[in-house]
Amino acid sequence: MQQLLGVSLLDTPASATLWVLVVVGFAGLAVAGSTGVRSGTRDRRRWWRRTLPSCAIAAALATATGGFLVEGVFKPIPDAIPRTVYVWIAVALLAVMLAVSCLVGGRTRRRPWRVAGVLLTTVAVLLGAGGHVNRMYAEFPTLGTLIGIPDHRTVPLADVLGSDPTAVGDDLPPGTAVEDVWTPPENMPTSGAITEAPIPGTTSGFAARPAQIYLPPAYFAQPRPLLPVLVLLAGQPGTPEDWVVSGRLPVIADAFASQHAGLAPVVVVADPLGESLSNTLCVDSPRGDSRTYLTVDVPRWIHENLQVASGPMSMAIGGLSFGGTCALQTALSDPDVFPTFLDMSGQPEPTIGTRADTVEQFFGGDEAAFRRNNPADLMATRRFPGMAGAFVYGSTDTEYGPAARELYSAAVAAGIDAHLTELPGGHSYAVWSAGLERELPWLARRTGLIR
């Protein structure tokens, strides 16, 4: 069963299967539509010449209208939706419309076996189209993640609170890493675990959703090593669970820990949004004091409730897309709290779609206030000695790839010890998972965990 749940939905065999579903599905709909008419060659020709083209045009128009409303009117997300996604949406709508045409007229509706065939072939197309969209974003990497069965260990929050008086790694001499003073005990677990924790907005008043927290195997050992912390942020729309499920955080962190005697950073996936479709711009505004939540409430809760390292270099912040922009903003605004950042496929600047709308809705039309929160402006006017950061982007990400390169150059010019990494792929979790896996050793060295 576990092997079945681990079947990849993103590899080449999966892609071939999805194409087969689409082709077979439409073939079945074509057979049902052309043979389900009342009688005669003329009626069958009418299906091919009128019904099929009419449904195709209607699906295209409905998709175009929906795209205009989403991207041009309501703008629930700041990112542009790739055209290929719209193509697959149109394909799915076409299948539904053809199915309806088969079921409402002719002989099909009077024959249960034909109805069942139409429904099955429609489902096949929908699965194929949805699967291709999933391959673009890598939202569900395996069959288990698609049906909601976790592939990681979970523990109740109550089991990880409290401190171990025998903990090691406090007040290490300069140049000494935690791994230099750590010896794993024989009874240490072989894997880390995920727990969920509500982190209240005590100072900010921000109403965040519960955080997802990864604790490596060494956190459950006795004595416990004092580990650094990575605060990780998802995109918008998004939830903290996205990093656990789509980003494969437990798998990546466990793999790192297995190579370092159970050591890995504690990872707190915090929520700077409040709601999936909300865009707080990661600033303090009438929509919520998201920045204060990340820089005050989250670090304070971590140090009051988890036994972790407390040195000045022991905390880092990172994220993807909106979360990458948020991580960069937060680090630049409060370098004493987060002197290390990881920006993966971040936006060129904080935005809800356009600069004018962003300035008007979040900063009351004050362009100077916007610039005080815009990473590019901050790095152009200030120096950041002692800060380090990583920029990661996908090679086919034509929207955020150029932004990553520009922000990296600005970071270097501002005195930040930055590096830039291009990985195969687009604006998807395939890139972000690979980015986290690649940058985790750098983060661990930077935060004093390993040499």
Pair 42, 175 in one domain: no
Q: What are phi and psi of 389, to 5 degrees?
A: -155, 160
Segment 272-276 mean pLDDT: 95
213 exposed, middle or buried (CB, 10 Å; 0-12, 13-18, 19+)?
Answer: buried
Pair 56, 194 in one domain: no
Segment 312-334 mean pLDDT: 97
Segment 417-423 mean pLDDT: 98
Task: Sheet containing 417-423: give its strands across.
Answer: 193-197, 211-215, 266-269, 229-233, 315-320, 340-344, 388-394, 417-423
Residue 378: is its pLDDT beyond 60? yes
Pair 125, 229 in one domain: no
pLDDT of residue 64: 97
**Measuring CA to CA, which residue among 369, 379, 317 is closest to residue 348?**
379
pLDDT of residue 350: 96
Q: Domain boundary at 90, 115, 146, which?
A: 146
Within a domain: 152: no
Pair 33, 95 in one domain: yes
Within a domain: 52: yes
Residue 39: is its pLDDT beyond 70? no
Residue 40: is its pLDDT beyond 60? no
Q: Which domain holds residue 336?
A: 157-446
Within a domain: 237: yes
> ∠ CA(264), CA(270), CA(275), 5° rounding?
150
Within a domain: 11: yes
Token duo for residue 314: 């022991």
pLDDT of residue 332: 98
Of the two residues 204 and 82, the one the predictor is more confident about is 204
Pair 266, 375 in one domain: yes
Q: With residue 423 as reference, give the H or E element that holds it.
A: strand 417-423
Pair 134, 175 in one domain: no
In whole angstroms, how far apart are CA 30 and each of 45, 87, 90, 125, 130? 12, 20, 17, 12, 20
Cβ contact 141:8 at 8 Å: yes
Cβ contact 327:233 at 8 Å: yes
Segment 49-63 mean pLDDT: 95
Q: Count how many domains the chain has.
A: 2
Supply the CATH number for residue 247's domain: 3.40.50.1820
Pair 125, 96 in one domain: yes
Segment 420-449 mean pLDDT: 97
Segment 362-387 mean pLDDT: 96
**Measured distance CA(175)–CA(156) in Å, rounded:** 35
Q: Domain boundary at 118, 146, 174, which?
A: 146
Segment 25-53 mean pLDDT: 81
Within a domain: 451: no
Pair 247, 298 in one domain: yes
Q: In 3-state terms, what secondary structure has residue 32?
A: helix
Segment 194-199 mean pLDDT: 98
pLDDT of residue 348: 94
Q: Domain boundary at 115, 146, 177, which?
A: 146
State the pLDDT confidence band at 106, using cuts at 50, 70 and 90. low
Segment 63-81 mean pLDDT: 88
Beta strands in 257-339 (DSSP E): 266-269, 284-285, 288-289, 315-320
**Measured distance CA(194)–CA(126) in Å, rounded:** 33
> ∠ CA(147), CA(153), CA(157), 5° rounding?
110
**Measured distance CA(158)–CA(160) in Å, rounded:** 6
Residue 1: is its pLDDT beyond 70? no
Beta strands in 167-240 (DSSP E): 193-197, 211-215, 229-233
Within a domain: 151: no
pLDDT of residue 402: 97
pLDDT of residue 107: 61
Segment 224-246 mean pLDDT: 97
Pair 286, 336 in one domain: yes
Q: With residue 100 as reference, give the H or E element that holds it.
A: helix 83-104
pLDDT of residue 79: 79
Q: With residue 13 as reference, give the H or E element that holds it.
A: helix 12-35
Pair 363, 326 in one domain: yes
Per the omega criterion (within 30 degrees of 0), is the bond before 82 cis?
no
Pair 131, 165 in one domain: no
**First and final CA of the chain: distance in angstroms?**
39
Of the two residues 214 and 144, the one the predictor is more confident about is 214
In whole numbers, what is the pLDDT of the chain averaged over residues?
93
pLDDT of residue 76: 83
Beta strands in 67-134 (DSSP E): none
Within a domain: 367: yes
In whole angstroms, how far apart are CA 222 and each of 153, 186, 189, 219? 19, 10, 11, 8
Pair 95, 235 in one domain: no
Four-residue CA torsion sign, 433, 438, 443, 449: positive
State the pLDDT confidence band at 38, using cuts at 50, 70 and 90. low
| Its pTM surpasses 0.75 | yes
**Measured distance CA(156)–CA(363) in Å, rounded:** 41
Within a domain: 165: yes
